[in-house]
C-alpha cells in the first residue's frame, strides 16, 4: 500500500508543543486539529440542513431565524421539539460510535474490531428486544435493557478471549461468533412477539433518528459527558497497546488494565448510542479509519474519530430523508449500505496488505 510520507521536511510540523509553567507541556498535531475543525464545521452545516428538513422545508437562513426566536409557533415546534433533538441525537450517536470504534480497533489491533462486527451492538439490541418482547417495558427500561445487553456481551466476549489477552483476531473472531448468535436470538425474539411488540421491536433492527426527542437526548448527553473524556485520557495508553503487550509493559503500561478500562468505556458508549437510536451500523467501523487516513496519525486519534462519526451520522440522516422522494429511510439503512461498500473495500485492502 503506498501512502504519502507522514511528514516532509520543511512542511507543516507533525506536532507542536505548548509549554506551560510548572514543567507542564501539551502536545498536539496541527493536522489533526485542522481535520477535527473541518469535520466539526461540516457537522454544524449538516445540522442546520437537518433542522430545515421535513414536512415543512426551511432554508438554512430561515433555520437560523427560527433559532433566534423569529418564527411562527408551528415553525418553533417543528424545529425545537422535533428536529433539534433528532439532529443532536444524531451528532452524539455518531461521536459516541466513532470514539468507541477507535477504542475497539486499538484494543483488537484490527480495523475490523468494531462493535457492530464483534457483537456488542447486537447484544444491546438483544437487551432492548428482551425488555420489549418479554416484559413489555417502556422507553426507560428498554434503554436500560440495551445497556445491560451490551455490557453482558462485552463481559462474555472479554471472558472468552481472556486467555491470550483479548487481542487481535481472537477478539474479532469470538466477537463475530457472538454477533451471529445474538442476531439469531434477536430474530427469534421477534417471532415470539405479539403484533404490537413486534412493531415496536422492528425499530431495533435498523437504527434511525426518526422521532427521537429530548427524552433520548439527555441520557445520551449524560453518558457522553462522562465517558468521552474518560476515553480521551486513555488515548496515549491505547497507542502504547498497538505496540504489542510486551513493549507496552516494558514502557510502563498495564495492557490488561488499559484493555479493560477502554473496552468498558467503549461498550458503555456503544450501548448508550444504541439505546438512543438503535443499531446505526458501520459508523464505528468506518469513522476511525476514515479519520486516521485524514489525520495520518499513527496512534488512535480519538477526537478525529468522534468528529468523523458525527459527520457521518448527520450526513446519513440527511441522505435518508432525501434519497427517495416518497419514503423516509432509516439512517441506519443508509450507513448500512455505505458501510457494506466500505467493508468490502477494507477487506480487499487488508488482503492486499497481507494482513488477512
Partner 1 sequence: MTPSAPARLTADAVTLRYDRSVVARDLTVAVPDRSFTVIVGPNACGKSTLLRALSRMLRPSEGRVLLDGEEISTLPAKRLARRLGLLPQTPVAPDGITVGDLVARGRYPHQGLLRQWSREDERVVTEAMAATGVTDLAERRVDELSGGQRQRIWIAMALAQQTELLLLDEPTTYLDIAHQIDILDLCARLHEEEGRTLVAVLHDLNHAARYATHLVALREGRVVAQGAPGDIITADLVEDVFRLPCRVIEDPETGTPLVVPAARRRAAVISG
Where along the sequence are the contacts to partner 1 (CB under 8 A)? Answer: 3, 5-9, 14-15, 17, 19-20, 23-27, 233, 236, 239-240, 242-244, 246-247, 249-254, 296, 298-299
Contact at 8 Å (CB) between 316 and 331? yes
Q: How far is residue 55 CA from its own chain's centroid?
A: 28
Least distance from C-beta 26 to partner 1, angstroms?
5
Least distance from C-beta 14 to partner 1, angstroms?
8
Least distance from C-beta 257 to partner 1, angstroms?
9
Distances (CA, A) of 295 to 32, 118, 225, 306, 324: 5, 26, 24, 13, 34
The angle subtended at Cα 22 by Cα 21 and Cα 27, nearest 5°, is: 65
Distances (CA, A) of 168 to 47, 135, 245: 37, 38, 11
C-alpha 273/C-alpha 94 separation (Å) is 8
User: Based on CB atoms, which residue is closest to partner 1, 285 or 316?
Assistant: 285
User: Based on CB atoms, which residue is closest to partner 1, 159 or 232?
Assistant: 232
User: Based on CB atoms, which residue is closest to partner 1, 293 or 322?
Assistant: 293
Least distance from C-beta 287 to partner 1, angstroms?
17
Least distance from C-beta 239 to partner 1, angstroms?
7
User: Based on CB atoms, which residue is closest to partner 1, 37 or 247?
Assistant: 247
Least distance from C-beta 79 to partner 1, angstroms?
40
Establish how many alpha carbons lie within 13 A of residue 339's alpha carbon, considering only the half-sphere containing its beta carbon.
Answer: 24
Contact at 8 Å (CB) between 120 and 150? yes
User: Based on CB atoms, which residue is closest to partner 1, 65 or 296?
Assistant: 296
Least distance from C-beta 117 to partner 1, angstroms?
19
C-alpha 20/C-alpha 43 separation (Å) is 32
User: Based on CB atoms, which residue is closest to partner 1, 102 or 189?
Assistant: 102
Cβ neighbors of 253 (< 8 A, separation 6 or more) are: 237, 240, 241
C-alpha 72/C-alpha 57 separation (Å) is 14
Closest-CA residue to 262 (of 103, 151, 155, 121): 103
The helix, strand and coil proportions of the chain, stated in percent and rounded to the nearest 5, come to: 70, 5, 30
Q: Would you state the cell numbers that stand for residue 110, as one nine-digit string?
A: 484490527
User: Based on CB atoms, which residue is closest to partner 1, 181 or 242?
Assistant: 242
User: Based on CB atoms, which residue is closest to partner 1, 29 or 212?
Assistant: 29
For the chain, the residue count is 356
Q: Would you state the cell numbers that stand for residue 21, as one nine-digit string?
A: 509553567
Least distance from C-beta 4 to partner 1, angstroms?
10
Q: Would you state the cell numbers that stand for residue 172, as one nine-digit string?
A: 474479532
Amino acid at each position: 500500500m503506498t501512502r504519502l510520507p507522514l511528514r516532509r521536511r520543511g512542511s507543516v510540523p507533525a506536532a507542536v508543543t505548548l509549554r506551560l509553567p510548572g514543567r507542564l507541556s501539551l502536545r498536539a498535531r496541527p493536522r489533526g486539529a485542522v481535520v477535527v475543525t473541518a469535520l466539526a464545521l461540516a457537522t454544524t452545516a449538516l445540522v442546520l440542513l437537518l433542522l430545515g428538513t421535513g414536512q415543512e422545508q426551511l432554508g438554512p437562513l430561515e433555520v437560523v431565524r427560527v433559532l433566534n426566536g423569529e418564527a411562527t409557533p408551528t415553525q418553533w415546534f417543528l424545529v425545537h421539539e422535533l428536529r433539534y433533538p433528532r439532529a443532536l441525537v444524531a451528532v452524539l450517536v455518531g461521536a459516541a460510535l466513532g470514539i468507541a470504534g477507535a477504542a475497539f480497533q486499538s484494543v483488537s489491533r484490527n480495523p475490523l474490531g468494531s462493535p457492530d462486527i464483534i457483537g456488542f451492538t447486537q447484544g444491546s439490541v438483544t437487551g432492548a428486544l428482551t425488555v420489549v418482547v418479554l416484559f413489555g417495558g417502556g422507553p426507560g427500561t428498554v434503554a436500560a435493557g440495551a445497556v445491560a445487553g451490551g455490557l453482558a456481551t462485552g463481559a462474555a466476549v472479554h471472558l472468552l478471549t481472556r486467555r491470550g489477552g483479548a487481542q487481535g483476531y481472537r477478539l474479532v473472531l469470538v466477537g463475530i461468533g457472538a454477533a451471529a448468535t445474538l442476531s439469531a436470538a434477536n430474530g427469534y425474539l421477534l417471532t415470539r412477539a405479539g403484533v404490537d411488540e413486534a412493531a415496536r421491536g422492528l425499530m431495533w433492527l435498523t437504527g434511525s433518528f426518526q422521532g427521537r426527542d429530548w427524552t433520548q437526548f439527555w441520557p445520551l448527553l449524560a453518558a457522553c459527558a462522562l465517558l468521552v473524556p474518560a476515553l480521551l485520557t486513555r488515548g496515549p495508553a491505547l497507542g502504547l497497546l498497538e505496540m504489542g503487550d510486551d513493549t507496552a509493559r516494558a514502557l510502563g503500561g498495564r495492557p490488561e488494565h488499559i484493555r479493560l478500562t477502554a473496552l468498558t468505556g467503549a461498550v458503555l458508549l456503544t450501548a448508550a448510542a444504541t439505546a438512543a437510536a438503535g443499531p446505526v451500523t458501520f459508523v464505528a467501523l468506518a469513522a476511525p479509519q476514515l479519520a486516521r487516513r485524514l489525520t495520518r496519525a499513527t496512534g488512535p486519534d480519538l477526537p478525529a474519530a468522534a468528529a468523523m462519526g458525527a459527520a457521518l451520522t448527520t450526513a446519513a440522516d440527511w441522505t435518508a430523508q432525501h434519497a427517495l422522494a416518497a419514503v423516509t429511510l432509516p439512517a441506519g439503512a443508509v450507513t448500512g449500505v455505505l458501510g457494506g461498500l466500505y467493508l468490502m473495500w477494507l477487506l480487499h485492502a487488508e488482503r492486499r496488505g497481507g494482513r488477512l
